[in-house]
A and B are shown apart, each in its own frame.
Chain A
Amino acid sequence: MTATPAIEGWFTTGAAPALVGTRCATCTTVFFPKADGFCRNPACDGETFEEVELSRRGRIWSYTDAQYQPPPPYIPAADPYEPFALAAVELPEGLVVLGQVAKGYGVDDLKVGDEAELVVETLYTDETGERSIWRWKPVTEMGQEADQ
């Protein structure tokens, strides 16, 4: 069964998933989540945007984890609660995007400045089935895992 994105239109779900943002047709500034209506660059009066897929890789700006279950509207994926890591990743488009960290990775696998890649995984399951979300997965160089 294929998971449905937990939020519509924010990311693609193919073999090489990517965040979907918008680019101002006037000043080319990229926004994620999507901006529409009016460009938020104060020097630009643009009102038309095109959708763009953002780079799938970036550098970790910072990271942490959630050792306690966050309050609603967070929907826990498991009972009992399983802590997860979070990362803010700086993309070549010049913006930083938050995300949970891919399953199986924790803060010990992360470092400011290291590379991370976007993946799509299941966030939670409700009566409509599995709901998916973008996550950041640390990029390990060939052989690095064996070294550890």
Chain B
Amino acid sequence: MSTSKDVAVAGVGMHPWGKWGKSFVTYGVHAARAALTDAGIPWQDVDLIVGGETVRNGYGGYVAGATFAQALGWNGARVATSYAACATGAQALDTARARILAGMCEVALVVGADTTPKGFLAPNAGERWDDPDWLRFRLLGMTNPAYFALYARRRMDLYGATQADFAQVKVKNAKHGLHNPNARYRKEVSVDDVLGSAVVSDPLHLLDICATSDGAAAVVLTSVDYARRHGLTDPVKVKAISTVTPTFPNTVMDMPNLSTDSSAVAGVPERTFKESIGHAAYEEAGIGPEDVDVAEVYDLSTALELDWIEDLALCKRGEAEALLRAGDTTIGGRIPVNPSGGLACFGEAVPAQALAQVCELTWQLRGQAEGRQVEGARVGITANQGLFGHGSSVLLAI
């Protein structure tokens, strides 16, 4: 395992998730300052700032890196801004890592923040007949939860999953997030609560589907050398960041598409897109799924958490329900998943969410996840997927 490709996570910070009615800049600066304090590094020492942007916040959101830099007080740092849907934070992190590894900067601050609308995420206004994200609503009424429901239904018809299994994911994550100060929902939920909530898109109930939230997360990355010089002993290290695109043909129906690629000529690829996201992270890190102690995965819906457990090769295809039922994915089990409480407890704040996963794993690997600690965790992996062939996985180790 080469150490030359490691970068150090010097500090992490968040603004609690919720509906606070403030500008995303306020959340972002709060998280940034928390991460800098955690790192013990003054803002003036940061020589690169990377912002995760969002497409709904207007001008300021589109140029997030500079917006955060100005709000923190111009310090002359280089700037970059990333957009990669749900993988935005990881792509921003990868930009920072690349510059550090290239020797072009030593201290990078990565910030993602969002203020989200109420209800279904919907495309921007205006007619766009060449935009699949617009067409899926106009022609089919195909919302995000409808895509999540397609995946959930396949688990039921192919692997014998039940709606009670999906509900159990929510029950588990609600319990995990109870004492997480950054979680929006901190309340126990029962299987009956989930099954008694309204069906949004069969087989998924309202409580199977994550909300959208305001929130922010920030990560300070430094070179390993800088960390050593500044007395940061045994920091959590980034071992891999995977931001791979799909391999043609992409044969699994992906949001916001109306169809898949055809496999008739090119043949079915060895791995699905989501499998390839985790695989690339493992390959890059030289770490295997058997070494993973804890995972933070994108539970946009409860059933998607089960998909991710298999996509990350933490168990075989079709076996995630068995893991769940045995308590293996609960804190204290063999491979705890979403100890933070996951999106079930946070709600999605798109450009912040992939960074929030990294924050949580950093606290877990440092042994600082009070009230939700996975004992002895040394290796953690994140996973998410967003629109248009974006997805990411970050592998962290101590």
Report the separation of the CA atoms of residues A84 and B122 in the bound assembly, to the nearest whole angstrom.
19
Q: Nearest Cβ distance between residue B80 and chain A, in whole angstroms?
A: 28
Report whether B141 and A62 are in contact in the complex, using a CB–CB cutoff of 8 Å: no
Q: Nearest Cβ distance between residue B151 and chain A, in whole angstroms?
A: 7
- Cβ-defined partner of A95 (8 Å) among B119, B136, B200, B261: B261
Q: Nearest Cβ distance between residue B4 and chain A, in whole angstroms?
A: 31
List residues of chain B with CB within 8 A of the CB of A86. Answer: 140-142, 146, 150, 201
| Chain A 107-141: CB-based contact to B (< 8 A → 1; otherwise 0) | 10001110000000001000000000100000000
| Chain B 131-154: CB-based contact to A (< 8 A → 1; otherwise 0) | 000111111111100100111111
Report whether B150 and A64 are in contact in the complex, using a CB–CB cutoff of 8 Å: yes
Q: Nearest Cβ distance between residue B329 and chain A, in whole angstroms?
A: 24
Report whether B120 and A71 are in contact in the complex, using a CB–CB cutoff of 8 Å: yes
Cβ-Cβ contact count across A and B, 8 Å cutoff: 138
Does A30 have its Cβ within 8 Å of any Cβ on chain B?
yes
| Chain B 173-213: CB-based contact to A (< 8 A → 1; otherwise 0) | 00000000000000000000000001111111000000000
Nearest-CB residue, chain B, relative to A135: B140
Report the separation of the CA atoms of residues A57 and B326 in the bound assembly, to the nearest whole angstrom.
41
Report whether B262 and A98 are in contact in the complex, using a CB–CB cutoff of 8 Å: no
Majority DSSP secondary structure for residues of A touching B: loop
Q: Nearest Cβ distance between residue B270 and chain A, in whole angstroms?
A: 15
Does B272 have its Cβ within 8 Å of any Cβ on chain A?
no
Report the separation of the CA atoms of residues A69 and B142 in the bound assembly, to the nearest whole angstrom.
10
Report whether A43 and B266 are in contact in the complex, using a CB–CB cutoff of 8 Å: yes
Q: Nearest Cβ distance between residue B154 and chain A, in whole angstroms?
A: 5
Does A65 have its Cβ within 8 Å of any Cβ on chain B?
yes
- Cβ-defined partner of B200 (8 Å) among A41, A68, A74, A99: A68
Q: Nearest Cβ distance between residue B247 and chain A, in whole angstroms?
A: 8
List residues of chain A with CB within 8 A of the CB of B127. Answer: 73
- Cβ-defined partner of B248 (8 Å) among A42, A65, A107, A113: A42
Known: A41-B265, A67-B200, A71-B122. A111 touches B137 (CB 8 A): no
Report whether A98 and B201 are in contact in the complex, using a CB–CB cutoff of 8 Å: no
Q: Nearest Cβ distance between residue B199 and chain A, in whole angstroms?
A: 5
Report the separation of the CA atoms of residues A99 and B146 in the bound assembly, to the nearest whole angstrom.
12
Report whether B253 and A66 are in contact in the complex, using a CB–CB cutoff of 8 Å: no
List residues of chain A with CB within 8 A of the CB of B204. Answer: 64
Report whether A73 and B140 are in contact in the complex, using a CB–CB cutoff of 8 Å: no
Report the separation of the CA atoms of residues A107 and B150 in the bound assembly, to the nearest whole angstrom.
11
Does B258 have its Cβ within 8 Å of any Cβ on chain A?
yes
Report the separation of the CA atoms of residues A111 and B158 in the bound assembly, to the nearest whole angstrom.
10
Report the separation of the CA atoms of residues A67 and B136 in the bound assembly, to the nearest whole angstrom.
16
Does B288 have its Cβ within 8 Å of any Cβ on chain A?
no
- Cβ-defined partner of A66 (8 Å) among B119, B138, B201, B258: B201
- Cβ-defined partner of B265 (8 Å) among A28, A66, A88, A107: A28
List residues of chain B with CB within 8 A of the CB of A27. Answer: 265
Known: A41-B248, A72-B122. A84 touches B141 (CB 8 A): yes
Known: A74-B137, A86-B140, A112-B154. A94 touches B263 (CB 8 A): yes
Known: A31-B262, A71-B119, A84-B141. A107 touches B253 (CB 8 A): no
Report the separation of the CA atoms of residues A40 and B246 in the bound assembly, to the nearest whole angstrom.
12
Known: A64-B149, A65-B201, A107-B202. A93 touches B264 (CB 8 A): yes
| Chain A 12-26: CB-based contact to B (< 8 A → 1; otherwise 0) | 000000000000000
Nearest-CB residue, chain A, relative to B153: A62
Report the separation of the CA atoms of residues A66 and B153 in the bound assembly, to the nearest whole angstrom.
14
List residues of chain B with CB within 8 A of the CB of A28. Answer: 264-265
Report whether B258 and A123 are in contact in the complex, using a CB–CB cutoff of 8 Å: no
Max chain A CB contacts within 10 Å: which of B122, B139, B153, B201? B139
List residues of chain A with CB within 8 A of the CB of B135. Answer: 7
Report the separation of the CA atoms of residues A30 and B260 in the bound assembly, to the nearest whole angstrom.
11
Q: Nearest Cβ distance between residue A139 and chain B, in whole angstroms?
A: 17
Known: A29-B262, A29-B266. A88 touches B146 (CB 8 A): no
List residues of chain A with CB within 8 A of the CB of B368. Answer: none
Q: Nearest Cβ distance between residue B271 and chain A, in whole angstroms?
A: 15
List residues of chain B with CB within 8 A of the CB of A64. Answer: 146, 149-150, 152-153, 201-204
Report whether A98 and B138 are in contact in the complex, using a CB–CB cutoff of 8 Å: no
Does B76 have its Cβ within 8 Å of any Cβ on chain A?
no
Report whether A93 and B262 are in contact in the complex, using a CB–CB cutoff of 8 Å: yes
List residues of chain B with CB within 8 A of the CB of A69. Answer: 141
Report the separation of the CA atoms of residues A112 and B160 in the bound assembly, to the nearest whole angstrom.
12
Report whether A63 and B153 are in contact in the complex, using a CB–CB cutoff of 8 Å: yes
Does A96 have its Cβ within 8 Å of any Cβ on chain B?
yes
Which residues of A line the B interface, CB within 8 A? 6-7, 27-33, 40-43, 61-75, 84, 86, 88, 93-100, 107, 111-113, 123, 133
Which residues of B line the A interface, CB within 8 A? 119-120, 122-123, 125, 127, 129, 134-143, 146, 149-154, 157-158, 198-204, 248-249, 251, 253, 257-266
Q: Other CB < 8 Å A-B pairs besides A63-B150, A65-B149, A66-B141, 5 of them? A: A29-B265, A62-B150, A64-B201, A66-B201, A100-B140
Q: Report 7 cross-chain contacts, Cβ distance below 8 Å, ordered by A residue.
A: A30-B264, A61-B253, A62-B150, A68-B200, A70-B142, A86-B201, A98-B259
